[in-house]
Amino acid sequence: IGQSLEERCNRILRDMEGSLTARDRVGIQDFVLLDAYTSESAVLDNLRKRFNENLIYTYIGTLLVSVNPYKELGIYTKKQMDIYMGVNFFELPPHIYALADNVYRTMLTETNNHFILISGESGAGKTEASKKILQFYAVSCPSTKLLDNVRDRLLLSNPVLEAFGNAKTLKNDNSSRFGKYMDIQFDHMGGAVGGHILSYLLEKSRVVHQNHGERSFHIFYQLVEGGEEDLLRWLGLERNCQRYSYLVQGECAKVSSVNDKSDWKTVRKALSVIEFSESNIESLFAIIASVLHLGNATFVADSQGYATLNNSPEIHWLSKLLGIPAQVIQVGLTHRKIEARSEEVLSPFTVDQAVYAKDALAKAIYGRTFTWLVNELNESLANKDSSRKTVIGLLDIYGFEVFSVNSFEQFCINYCNEKLQQLFIQLTLKSEQEEYEMEGIEWESVPYFNNKIICDLVEEKFKGIISVLDEECLRPGEATDMTFLEKLEEKMGGHPHFVTHKLADQKTRKTLERGDFRLLHYAGEVTYCVVATQFKSSLVGLTEILMSKEPWYVRCMKPNEGKQPGLFDDVLVRHQVKYLGLMEHLRVRRAGFAYRRRYEIFLQRYKPLCPDTWPNWKGTAAEGVECLIKHLGYKPDEYKMGRTKIFIRHPRTLFATEDAFEVCKHELATRIQAKYKGYRVKGDYMRQRQAATKIETCWRGMKARREREKRAWAVKVIKRFIKGFMTRNQPACVDNTEYLAFVRQNYLTRLKENLPKTVLDKNTWLTPPPIMQEASQMLRKLYTRHMVRRYVQGIMTERKAQLQIKGLTSSIFKGTKENYPHSVGIPFMDTRISKYSVPVVKYDRNGFRPRFRQLIYTGSAAYLVEEAKIKQRVDVKFFLSHTLSDNFLILHVQCEDIKQKGDLVLQCDYLFEALTKLCLVANKHNFIKVVQGSVKFDIQPGREGFVDFKSGQETMIYRAKNGHLMVVSMKLKTVWPLNSQNEQIHFLNY
């Protein structure tokens, strides 16, 4: 309800597309679409095909045929319920949920009452079908706390009624032994708000007698098998069904398919939910227990042949449970009270009469208890709201049955089924044809069997069987079964559907006892054994209730007598197809129209689909409907116009109209919403515009005031700034204080954004204003120290040692060596100065003969290597370095160990590193003297030597013509790149 066409289509396609296609290949879903619709064999074959594929539901128009599978199929889940909610009847495969949903939606849209008649033989699945319908409504109806409470009571009334009214028979392990009609009341929103139950003809004789293989009502076995120990002790019962006479006559106290203990718990829970008081529950079970005790009461004949009670314990429990004195019970069971005018006389019973009276009392107690139970359920389900309600009725009544011995109660049961068949004929077959004739629709009559003749045989005034029975019971003298039978033969001797032993032919007479009579029902012949106007009146009342509602039908069938899954008995099913009237119904549906409605109702519902009929039609309803269907494009063979109704032949035509109406409803709702929303939005817009105007006025005024205040403040600030600028060089005063503060702040801000990146950057520091001169100098020193500290903190130990050596080199060679600045950018390497070998040039004081080959120093000492490869430690007293080139130096060495002195000419690729390393080893940092040009040596007193230096194309040492030692150094061509600025900073610092 309320779904759009698109949503419905999407849901159907999503959930059922695959399965629907597969199911359509198995037989025909609707018998109306069957080609050979007049053939019983074709109908039977279609049922068999679908049954073999576990497709137990089939349609005949809107009538649902259900075949009991005798097994669980998994087609009653919550998901299945959701699939069938709000879907047209024929859109999905046949299902009990489809019928229940269609009844529910039709009730809501047309606001009228409906009933679902569930019929079929005993064991065909009628009770289960009614349960499934109730469960579907419990899920699909709106849910609130109150509605949920009503829903739970409706659902739980079923197990209570089944416990007290159902029993195992030869044909069904859970056979309804009473007729039940339940009204479910719905409010205008579709919520279940109440209910009412009517019961018919409880089979009370089952309390005292069961055929072989059958049981009494379930509640007796549930109480004995599942009752709590304290409860059984209080009731005087034992947990053994074999101890009670009324429970063992059928010799079938245990049934494999029935769990009495579990069912007992369900019943106890249901009674609590339905709000039975504890006192009422105790009284209810006390009465049930009293019936069992009464069944165990036995009689013996005294000396005069009269009955006396034989066992006093049962009388004790009867007295306790029923609240009646034991003496009263004893007298009541063994005597009959005769009233003669003003006197009462007690007449003693014989044993047979006492047993009959005991059984009659047990049946009466149970019957009245069942009636009280139904009344209590109705009180619990009653809806206190007096507003109008729509109703869906569920009729689950006993099926047609034939036993070897058929009692008077069975006669009433089958008579009830006969009446329901008559109702079905009236509401479907007969009324269908009569309606076509009344409406002036051309129609070819369909022949059908009318069972009115059989119903009249039973219920006709002064002539029917029930009238004869009443007359026989009221006449003077002793009435017996045979006198009643003779009366029937006298009244109905010539009736074609009534046969007795006396009236039958010789062949039939062999199958009848002298005390039997036979009726030829619509479902077959049944022979009854003679033994009710009240039951007839109840059926008339039920018929009137059903006639006031729209009918829907579920025909339940059983595929075999053995309750076996997968077994399809053609003879049995064919018999049910015949007596259930399926063939007649199929022929009428095939020849007739699927849908008919009064012009006023049809026009009122669908007039929005045509512009000429919406919103109001001025002419007659018939003219309006004709205009409407022409606009919708109905073809002539799809409909007929009657005197008061329109008749639509095919369901698809109605579905197309209904789908168009669903779309139209949403369009109308959208238009109404648009108009209303437009009206609302326009009003909101006008109010918002007025509010916006007021807000704008206030805001603009406030903004203008703020702007005026801001400009006044700006004028003051500008004036103070100008005065401050004019007096900036004067001492601080009121006029220039703010300006000078601005100048300081502005300078510091700009300085922050333009700080030097390195110490060597001499030009980046901003020129300060006069007022910031001193502060600027302090800040510059602080920042420089900050940069140095930051670099020092980040330098590694190895790098620091290198820079320290460079610092020593700087102190020795800076300003005295021409190529020193070019060497600054080359870092000292440990691999060159940690262990260094200096070659000795061929020159010494004794005439240039080499004495030492090499000068080797390590981190702690220096060694001279002689020709004999002997290492001598050199104790360097002082150094005299006379250098004019990059690769040579004159070194004066004194070796204490060998008591030798001399001047060495050393050749070295890394002069600054070697000399610095020797200073560090000898710890003679101040002994280095750098001489330019020529060096004079005092070799001996009165004898001098000279060493001259010059640059040339290659490095060499030789004795010049003037006798001087000439050292030639290759002219420096490579300009070493400066190292990073950070290294220069360190060098400068050291």
Instruction: List, as residue ranges, the binding site for ATP.
Output: 120-127
Report residue 935: phi and psi, to 5°.
-120, 135
DSSP-H helix ranges across 795-869: 797-813, 820-823, 830-833
Q: Establish whether 122 is a catalytic residue.
A: yes
**Distance, CA of 899 to CA of 886 (rounded, Å):** 31
Q: Per the residue annotation, which of 27, 46, 113, 123 is the catalytic one?
A: 123
Quick one: tokens of 94? 């046949």
Characterize 22-36 residue by residue with b for buried, 16 or more Cβ atoms within 10 angstroms of its Cβ, and e for exposed: ebeebbbbbbbebee
- Write the CA distances from 224 to 264, 270, 363, 405, 977, integer angstroms: 9, 18, 19, 29, 115
Helix axes 40-52, 582-591, angle to 10 degrees: 100
Residue 399 appears among annotated catalytic residues? yes
Angstrom distance (rounded) from CA 133 to CA 96: 7
Query: Alpha-carbon distance 261 to 60, whole Å?
Result: 41
d(CA 355, CA 828): 135
3-state secondary structure of 136: helix
Tokens of 236: 């005087």
CA distance 101 to 956: 121
Interior CA angle at 408 toward 406 and 411, to 5°? Answer: 70
DSSP class of residue 511 equals T
Spatial separation of the C-alpha atoms in residues 202 and 369, rounded to whole Å: 11
Binding-site residue set: 120-127
Q: Which residue has the tokens 């949403």?
A: 666
Residue 123 is a catalytic residue: yes
Q: How many Å apart are CA 246 and CA 310, to the nearest integer?
A: 17
Catalytic: which of 66, 130, 140, 172?
172
Place of tokens 């095909």: 49
Q: Which member of 68, 127, 736, 809 is catalytic? A: 127
Catalytic residue chosen out of the listed positions 399, 464, 624, 724: 399
CA 517 to chain CA centroid, Å, is 62
What tokens does 823 get? 């060497």
Residue type, 139: V
φ and ψ at residue 441, rounded to 5 degrees: -90, 130
Helices in 335-426 by DSSP H: which ranges?
Answer: 351-381, 408-424
Radius of gyration, CA atoms only, the chain: 62
**Residue 272 annotated to the active site:** no
Contact, 481 vs 530, CB < 8 A? yes
Three-state secondary-structure class, residue 39: coil
Catalytic residue among 176, 290, 390, 538: 176
End-to-end CA separation in angstroms for the chain: 96
Q: Which amino acid is at 102?
A: N
Of 158, 175, 653, 883, which one is the catalytic site residue?
A: 175
Strands 114-120 and 550-557: parallel
Q: How far apart are CA 84 and CA 373, in angstroms?
A: 35
Q: Let me know if 401 is a catalytic residue.
A: yes
Contact 213, 170 (CB under 8 A): yes
| Options 203, 225, 376, 401, the catalytic residue | 401
Identify whether 176 is a catalytic site residue.
yes
Of 503, 516, 565, 569, the C-alpha closest to 403 is: 516
Concatenating the DSSP letter of every residue in 662-720 gives HHHHHHHHHHHHHHHHHHHHHHHHHHHHHHHHHHHHHHHHHHHHHHHHHHHHHHHHHHH
Q: What gap in Å lies between CA 326 and CA 653, rounded to an integer?
A: 74
Instruction: For residue 241, give Cα distances in angstroms to 216, 223, 225, 284, 286.
Output: 11, 10, 8, 19, 17
Which tokens in the block code for residue 445?
């009559």
Q: What is the DSSP letter of 977?
A: P
Task: Find the length of the chain.
Answer: 990
Q: Please, are residues 107 and 113 in contact by the beta-carbon 8 Å criterion? A: yes
What amino acid positions are annotated as catalytic residues?
A: 122-123, 127, 172, 175-176, 399, 401
